[in-house]
Amino acid sequence: MDEARLKLAVQKSGRLSDPSLELLGRCGLKLSRGKDQLLGFGENMPLDVLFVRDDDIPDLVEEDVCDLGLIGRNVLEEKRLELAAQGRAARFETVRTLDFGRCRLSLAVPQESPWSGLESLRGRRIATTYPYLLGDFLRARGIRAEIVTLSGAVEIAPRLGRADLICDLVSTGSTLAANHLREVETVLESQALLIRTPLPLAPSKAEWMRRLLLRIEGVQQVRESKYIMLHAPRSALPDIRRLLPGSESPTIIPLEGSSERVAVHAVCRENVFWETLESLKQAGASALLVLPVEKMLS
């Protein structure tokens, strides 16, 4: 591999794969990648993408095979605790929290099992693929329970008699429901993170890392941002400014042939709902337009 190019680890196939590639695409990266290939070549940036199992991503960054990685907080924190148990400090740094891969690591009991809070865990067998996170959670609360470490299919462990309850990832809860389980407690809230090696990079790589981070920042900001344009009487401006969600100072432009009415243009960093537009109209606004923002750099 070319040492002068940044290497970024991304999940090969799974829940993080599409949103990760979408994010990179929005950052302007054009990847050429043969079917089933482990390495994607950045055609317009000195950046290559390594496609791997998500569980391998912290190691690849730790071992300096990759400079960056896109990974769920759940996997990263499990790894951090595993390393700590071996007396080692993790050699990866979290650079940014991203807006995808949301889920939570939760405790769930069989539908018919009684639950009266964490006390109900004492002496029970809990199946999980996250023994370190679960162990940490239990220790912090002074609860002794048996952790049954599995490599998958955690949700069927209670039915197979291998455990009394489970600790697993949940997003909508439909998998739990399908397995007659009920979520009772959150162990960790998770979403995707961008991680990097703490080691210094060669200047040209460092410069590209900086540019990539700026672009990611821009993409994240843009997702919820809207550009609003409207006309309003000057007297209504204080009310209108209050109603514009998450906007800084709007641009006020005089309207030809009218001394009383002006045009207001503003970037709103939050979603603009119909209710907001209705309130703006009531406050005296007209000719309302809401446009998507494509790119942003501040």
- How far is 55 from 59, CA to CA, in rounded Å? 8
Binding segment for Zn ion among 27-35, 55-63, 130-138, 251-259 (CB under 5 A)?
55-63
Size of the site for ligand ATP (CB under 6 A): 15
- Quote the least distance from Cβ 25 to ligand ATP, whole Å: 19
Query: Which spans in the chain are helix H?
Result: 17-26, 57-62, 73-85, 131-140, 174-178, 203-224, 237-243, 274-282
- Nearer of residues 79 and 205 to ligand ATP, judged by Cβ: 79
Q: Does 55 interact with Zn ion (rule: CB under 5 A)?
A: yes
Binding segment for ligand ATP among 14-22, 133-141, 206-214, 216-224 (CB under 6 A)?
14-22
Q: Does 42 interact with ligand ATP (rule: CB under 6 A)?
A: no
- Nearer of residues 134 and 244 to ligand ATP, judged by Cβ: 134
Binding segment for ligand ATP among 71-79, 155-163, 196-204, 237-245 (CB under 6 A)?
71-79
Binding segment for ligand ATP among 25-33, 52-60, 114-122, 267-275 (CB under 6 A)?
52-60
Largest pairwise CA distance in the chain = 80
E strand residue ranges, the chain: 6-11, 31-32, 39-42, 47-52, 68-72, 93-97, 103-110, 125-128, 146-149, 165-170, 181-190, 192-196, 226-233, 251-255, 258-268, 286-292
**Candidate residues 40, 72, 131, 158; the one interacting with ligand ATP per rule CB under 6 A:** 72
Q: Does 53 interact with ligand ATP (rule: CB under 6 A)?
A: yes
User: How many CB atoms are located within 10 Å of the residue 74 CB?
Assistant: 23
Site string for ligand ATP, 113-152 (x = CB under 6 A): ----------------------------------------
Binding segment for Zn ion among 54-62, 207-215, 272-280, 285-293 (CB under 5 A)?
54-62
Give the residue among 74, 57, 23, 77 at the shortest CA–CA distance from 197. 57
- How far is 164 from 160, CA to CA, in rounded Å? 10
Q: Does 190 interact with ligand ATP (rule: CB under 6 A)?
A: yes
Contact by Cβ (8 Å): 209, 67: yes
- Quote the least distance from Cβ 262 to ligand ATP, whole Å: 46
- Nearer of residues 54 and 67 to Zn ion, judged by Cβ: 54
Q: Does 54 interact with Zn ion (rule: CB under 5 A)?
A: yes
Q: Does 49 interact with ligand ATP (rule: CB under 6 A)?
A: no
- Strand, helix or coil for residue 166: strand
Relative to beta strand 251-255, strand 68-72 is: unpaired
- Tell me the two tokens of residue 148: 């049954």
Q: Tell me, what DSSP letter sits at residue 246?
A: T
